[in-house]
């Protein structure tokens, strides 16, 4: 029961990241670079405070600069992608790309997939391809490409962080190390800071609550979940984000997105199930 409750809270937090970002950027409440920087800063502060209270001292984690770079890549491309993408569309592209990145790494590492897993991969890829096909309801190509880069970055970050002895501490350091990159992005892009109070508030909530605290809750949930359950429950994130986009942001649901969600998440579920059975 604790695992299910914590997992539900974590999935709501992860889906809320898409909603908050779209709410802030879609309405022009803040520029994408500033949103990225504020999100990184607020997450770093909250996570550092949690680690400091828990450990009562600052302990240096096993710092991997590639992890910080991958985290920055995820956050910055995520922000800029949501300038044009709808909430559910962005979440599905992000999630699908993350899973495909991790599956590709598993194949490269020598893991053998049964025939049904290959079928699941084909269905998942077909779902994403269908979503991106040109048409009246197709997502913006530039936004879709940037969200795909964000997904690849998050997949790489997840793979790089698998061996961390303390996930919360490592995440705190990674956010802190990614922050200078966010500041540099804000400095080099023309236009400067363009933010309202609401935009800054949304970025702070995204960093401090749905990112920082969200990751802590998720790590706590993982202690109560089998690996297969942890992987499967994440399938809910794009669905929650899409529903929130419709209910909270008045984004019209499209048949294309519904079909893409069914195909992509269904294909991923098949692969996860087969990998668990093989293991």
Concatenating the DSSP letter of every residue in 23-49 gives HHHHTTSB-HHHHHHHHHHHHHHHHHH
Q: Report, in angstroms and rounded to the nearest whole number, the Rg of the chain calculated over CA atoms.
A: 18
Q: Which tokens is 239 given?
A: 């669905």
Residues β-bridged to residue 30? 195
More confident residue, 248 or 192: 248
* pLDDT at 279 > cutoff 70: no
d(CA 209, CA 39): 10
* pLDDT at 101 > cutoff 60: yes
Up-side HSE of residue 182: CA atoms within 13 Å toward CB?
Answer: 33
Give residue for tokens 């490409």: 145
Q: What is the mean pLDDT of residues 75-94?
A: 96
190-226 burial, b if ≥16 CB within 10 A, otherwise e? eeeeebeeebbbbbbbbbbbbbbbbbbbbebbbeebe
**3-state SS assignment for residue 96:** helix
pLDDT, residue 119, reads 93
Q: What is the mean pLDDT of residues 58-86?
A: 90
Q: What is the mean pLDDT of residues 52-68?
A: 80
N- to C-terminal Cα separation, the chain? 25
pLDDT, residue 111, reads 82
Q: Which tokens is 31 given?
A: 């520029």
- The single-letter DSSP state of residue 207 is I
pTM for this entry: 0.91
Q: What is the mean pLDDT of residues 14-27?
A: 95
pLDDT in tens, 151-188: 999 999 988 887 777 888 889 999 999 999 999 998 88
Q: What is the 3-state secondary structure (H, E, C) of 216-256?
A: HHHHHHHCCCCHHHHHHHCCHHHHHHHHHHHHHHCCCCCHH
CA-nearest of 241, 204, 196, 237 to 218 is: 237
Are 77 and 32 in contact by the 8 Å Cβ rule? The answer is no
d(CA 164, CA 27): 38
């Amino acid at each position: 029961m604790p695992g299910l409750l914590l997992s539900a809270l974590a999935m709501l937090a992860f889906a809320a990241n898409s909603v908050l970002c779209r709410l802030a950027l879609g309405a022009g409440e803040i520029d994408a670079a500033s949103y990225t920087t504020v999100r990184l800063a607020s997450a770093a502060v909250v996570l550092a405070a949690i680690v400091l209270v828990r450990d009562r001292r600052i302990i240096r984690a096993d710092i991997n600069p590639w992890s910080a770079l991958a985290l920055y890549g995820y956050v910055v491309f995520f922000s800029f992608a949501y300038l044009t993408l709808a909430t559910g569309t962005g979440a599905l592209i992000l999630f699908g790309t993350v899973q495909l990145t991790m599956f590709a790494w598993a194949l490269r590492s020598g893991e053998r997939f049964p025939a049904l897993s290959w079928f699941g991969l084909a269905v998942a890829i077909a779902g994403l391809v269908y979503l991106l096909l040109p048409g009246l309801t197709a997502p913006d190509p530039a936004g879709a490409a940037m969200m795909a880069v964000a997904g690849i970055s998050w997949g790489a970050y997840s793979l790089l962080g698998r061996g961390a002895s303390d996930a919360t501490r490592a995440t705190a350091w990674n956010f802190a190390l990614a922050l200078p990159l966010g500041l540099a992005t804000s400095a080099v892009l023309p236009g400067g800071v363009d933010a309202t109070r609401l935009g800054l508030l949304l970025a702070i909530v995204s960093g401090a609550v749905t990112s920082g605290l969200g990751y802590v809750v998720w790590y706590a949930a993982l202690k109560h979940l089998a690996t297969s359950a942890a992987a499967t429950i994440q399938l809910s994130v794009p669905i929650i984000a899409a529903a929130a986009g419709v209910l909270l942001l008045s984004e019209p649901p499209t048949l294309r997105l519904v079909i893409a969600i069914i195909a992509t998440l269904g294909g991923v579920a098949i692969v996860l199930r087969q990998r668990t059975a093989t293991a």
